[in-house]
Amino acid sequence: MKLSFSKLITIARGTLLGLFARRAGWPVMIGGSVELKGLRSLTLGNRVMIGSYAVVGRDVVLGNLSSIGRNTYVDNGVTIGDRVSISRNCSLVTSTHGSDAPDRRAGRARFVSPLRIGDGCWIGTDVVILPQVTEIGAYTVVGAGAVVTRNLPANVLAVGNPARVIRELPPLPITQPAGRSPVSQPAPDTQADEA
Ligand X SMILES: CC(C)(COP(=O)(O)OP(=O)(O)OC[C@H]1O[C@@H](n2cnc3c(N)ncnc32)[C@H](O)[C@@H]1OP(=O)(O)O)[C@@H](O)C(=O)NCCC(=O)NCCS
Q: Which residues form the catalytic set?
A: 97
Decide: is 179 part of the binding site for ligand X (CB under 6 A).
no
- Compute the half-sphere exposure of residue 40: CA atoms within 13 Å on the CB side of its CA: 2
In the bound complex, what is the minimum distance in angstroms from residue 46's beta carbon to ligand X? Answer: 21
Q: Please identify, among the stretches 8-16, 46-54, 154-162, 173-181, the one whose residues bind ligand X according to the rule CB under 6 A.
A: 154-162
Q: Decide whether 59 or 126 has the Cβ nearer to ligand X.
A: 126
The site that binds ligand X (CB under 6 A) totals a number of residues, namely 12
Q: Please identify, among the stretches 19-27, 29-37, 96-104, 140-148, the one whose residues bind ligand X according to the rule CB under 6 A.
A: 140-148
Report the alpha-carbon distance of residue 154 to residue 119 in Å, rounded: 9
Q: Decide whether 92 or 141 has the Cβ nearer to ligand X.
A: 141
The only residue of 12, 101, 109, 144 in contact with ligand X, by rule CB under 6 A? 144
Decide: is 147 part of the binding site for ligand X (CB under 6 A).
no
- The burial class, CB within 10 Å (0-12 / 13-18 / 19+), for 63 is buried
Site of interaction with ligand X (CB under 6 A): 85, 87, 124-125, 141, 143-145, 157, 159-160, 166
